[in-house]
Structure formats: C-alpha cells, structure tokens
Structure 1
C-alpha cells in the first residue's frame, strides 16, 4: 500500500491587515479604448448574468470584498500556493447573491449561497457554475486552479479579516483577506460636511457638501481626531478629506454596496464586454433618432463603461457610476462638444455637442 497522506493543520493564527484603495483614473483606461476594434452590428449576443436562484446572503458575509492569500492543500506533498500579487485575485460577495471574481487577467461571475451555523462565523457555502473568460495569463498564474477549486467549495469560516473556504472531501482551503478602505463611493450623512485640504479639523476648507452628496472613495486612513477619507465629488470637483463619521456607504441602484476598484473602463479598453446591442442615437442637430451599436463592460451596481459605435465608424465612450452618467471620451482627436446628461424614466439621455444618445438602465445595470 502507498504511504498514507499527511494532513496539514490550518490552525495557524490569522493576522489582520488593512489596505487603502485607489481608483484607477478614467483617463488612463480611456486611452486603451483607442485601440478597440469596431463594434459588431445589430443582433450580437449579450452575456446572460446568472442571478436566478440566489438566496439571501448572511449579513456577515455580504457585501464583502476579498483578495487571495493562499491555496492550501491538505497534502504535505503539494503544500501551499501563494499568489505573487494578491490583488490580481479578488472575490466580491454581493448581498444580492452574485459573486464577482478577478482571476489574474480573467474575470468570472456567478452566484453564491450560504447557510450559516450558530453565530454565522461559519457554515456551508457553494458557488454556482462560474461564467469565466479564457485569456492566457502570463505565468505564474493561479487563474485556472482557482477557477477549478471554486466549484468544490462547500464551507466557510470567518475570523476577523480572514475568510477560509473549505473544499469538498478535505480537498484544501482557499484563504482570503478582506480588502479594506471602504466602498467605492460614500454618501455624506452630516448636515454640512467641510472638505479639508489635508486630514485635519483645523485645515483650510476646499468645499462644503450637504447631506446626501455622493463622493468617490480614494482611500481612508488614521489621522488627527479619527479616521479620515480621501474623497472627490462624484463626477469631478476638488479633492480633499472628510471624517469617516460623516460618511456612509453609498447604495447602488440595485440596492447593493460595492467594494474594490471599478474595473469597467479598463475591461472595455481591453475589449472585455458583458453585453452588446443597439440604442437610439442622433448625430446632428434636428436629425431624427436612428440606431447605433453599443458594447458595455459592467462592474456591478451601476458602474459601467458604454462604448457606442456611430454609423460613420467613430466611437463615443460614456462612463457610469452608481447608475449616473459622469463623463465621456472619444477615440478621435477632434473635439466632441460639451457633455450633458439627464434622466427620463428608465433612460439616461446623453448629449455630446450636437450628438444625442438614449441609454436604457438595462444597458448599465444588466438584467
């Protein structure tokens, strides 16, 4: 008989660490769009988003965002595999039951369900079959192994800022660390919040924001008198600092809170889209509405990049955050005119100079 396998203990202490978060500037991602191929014609298929059958998420598991620390085998002969860059492997567990993953150069989506036991710090957990891109990532890469292992996840254990996902039949442990720094966007809760130029209550004021103002979260850290967050008004404005106590997580149009980077512009620049089709458009003042092709890359919760193909071959790119159109870019050097956005029912009406576009919420949010 062969030698009996030795089991590896997973009882080593877990140490919590915090991380700030920085948003990738839209300008960098927009540059990648210059190399995009022309959009396909009408009738191109769109990718279905697997959300049916998702159960309510345990409150201590969602919404959360994680990065991979370790893939541990219970067999000492195999040992552990640790990613060289943990931020290349991330897992987002949405409160709507959706799971979104970055697997190095690939992306995967699916649904997840969990049944907590006791206080909810452990229990059973499973993922649906994942829809995953199949790009060849530069070695060394864990995308293929992690994609396979996730299909065999059967349980979880949550302790502090660490999440252990156990595989079927003691097949191993996927160990994750919580990504800190707060949600993608904040909402001001104070009656009036003073935006400070540096993180100090005595610093000069760059702007004052009323309650309900939406802000981009550029990272949080400890400072004088508490935790300060580096913020900028959604859609642009001065950058500065607000006390964390004056902020709450911004709720997306689908009722969720999203963490981690909005990678939709980067994915669009790399030609990775979630859906395509047609939308109403007009290319000149007084002209009737026609049809233009579009492709959209989504990052969940109303974060999306919509690339529109004009009949003459030009392209326009419209950026959305929290379901709001905040700006545009063009692949052509010629100026396109001022950008304006307005809402009517479930449509976002875009005007770029004399050009007009109508973008339904379903394009941005999916479904």
Structure 2
C-alpha cells in the first residue's frame, strides 16, 4: 500500500517537533535535561486535586455530570470563572467570550484553522514557539517575521508578550502598543499566547495585549485580539485545560471547529480544575514562582561562571527559558548533538524555532530551568561551556592553519 501517495498536500510541510522527540529521552535518567520546558511535577497540587476528585465521587449527581459529555463551549461554571479571571487581568469578558480547549495548543490550531487558507500570510515572532509553528504549518501559510515584516494582507500575528518561548524575553509596553497600532492600521488580528503570563519572578506585570486592546476599543467585542490561556503551567498539564478569549461572534465560529474536532473537552478534567483554582490557584502560582525563580538564578550564575567569552544569553524576568547566542563560528545543531552524545546533556538548537521559509540563525540554542534541580543544571551548563570552549579552540586552530 502506497500511503505516501494518499496523504493530503498539506502534510508535506508537517514535520516532527524536535522538542517532542527529545522528550522521548526523558526516561534516560542519566541525561541532564536542559532542553525541554516541562513544568516540574514535584510542585503540582496533588492534595488539592485528590480532594477535588473525592468531592466529585461523593455526590452521585455531580459524578454523573463529570462522566457525561460536556458542552462544546466548555463546562459553564469554569467558563464563568475564566471570564471573571480575564476581567481581573484587565480584559472584561462574559461567558460567551470564552471557549474551553484541550490545552492552549488546541487553541492555536483552532485559530489557524479558522483564519488561514493555503498561501495566506501569518506573522510570527522570530524565533517563535515551535508548537505554534507546527500548528500553523498544517494550513500552509506564508510566514512573515515580527519584527520588521510587512503586515499588508496578514491574517493574524502570533505573539507571546511575556517571557516568550523560546527566548525568555518580554515585550515592552511600547512594543505592545506598537503591535496594536499595526493591527489597527492593517486590519490583521493578533493571536496572543498568554501561557506564561503569571510566571513572573521580577518586575511589575505588564497589561496583556487583549487588555490593552479592550482599553483602546472599549470592549472585548471590538478588540482585534484572540487570547489563548492554559492551566498547564499554573496547575498541571495532563488535565489539558486551556481557553480562548475573544469576541463572542468569533468564539461561536470556533465552537463549530471544536464540535467537528473532538466534540468537547473532558467534563471531569474541567470540574476538577475548577475546584482547584477556586481555592488554590494563587498558592499554586506562588509555589511555582518560588521554585523556578531559584532555578533561573542558579542557571544564570552557572552561565556566567562556565561559558567562554563571546557567549551571550537572555535574562528572563519569568517563564521557563533562557536563550543562548554563541559566537558565529559555532553551529548550535552540532553543539547540541555532541552535547547529547558525548556529555549526556540535552539542549535544543535554536534553528528548530524558525518558521519555514525564514533563514535560521545557526548559533543559538534554548535552555530551560523548569524541570531540573539546581545542582544537575549547573553541571549541565558546565559541560556545555566546556564543549563550547573546545569547539571555539578547534575553530581558531583551523582558521590559523588556513591563513598560515
């Protein structure tokens, strides 16, 4: 059977995520994992989730609801809670402005399915979240880079304003306002990825793009922003609860896509999640911030101690990632492959985060401090630094011989 002949044309550009492939290595305990950005399971709210589960099973009527199909829009009380949560973040929402999704990844896919036809222009950050790129790839867009790209005829701009994946950087208030100006002038939509917004360790919070747009336009109904949020980083990823917030008319269209995709998100997961966040969300976020702040500080200190001259890195105010810029003569793909094979250290080369059709910088890589304690992380950075120094010396020796 020649299955290749039968695949849809859009599958030609769909490739495996390098990060998801690397995650298969997590079972290899001897590796030092500096690449993947998984939340640390040691800080999940186990007791709160167990108590919520017990309350569901203790009431047969509640349990019947939990085991039945949920509405495609999502469990009503959870949608109401998220609407109030978004309102508290400066984007006044009603229940009709919220769609529950299976994680924010499904939200990215749904928005791309709603807006993109083959050849349409999608503006994305350079570099950008690989999960978003893989979601968009299936709808065969032409990519335009942010910043610097021409917004003419762009359907939407994908942006993660806070502690971006992969760079860890944050948009300034002026940059957020400028992006909204661009949307106002061009008519494009903005797809805002808010998954790291609450994981802030330093500095004052900045308003989200959807909050700024609501302030400009007077309501979420007039805002050109669709906001994707998730509880995967704030509570636990396996519950697979995310949401899209936006104008009610757009949400109604997205509900049709949800119905055709998976009908509904698990009612049980939604009800468990609601019970936990009503009583424990701020406590859970505070715990995560305390753990990740310490790990970020330790990794930054290790980079300063062990990386050779000429290596630069971001200093994130939150989130889970640090972006490394190596000297130009170092190919990060070669470095990360050697690090894995020779040093037992897993990291992700930056080229994986560039969209199709846009040239990647080959001398970058992403590290994450979320899932690894401080001492193994310091050892991993030490090994990466030693290998980088070795490759720099080899490059210098080759250059000296060629110019002799």
TM-score, normalization by structure 2: 0.25
Higher relative contact order, structure no. (Cα contacts within 8 Å, ≥ 6 residues apart): 2
Q: Which has the higher helix share?
A: 2
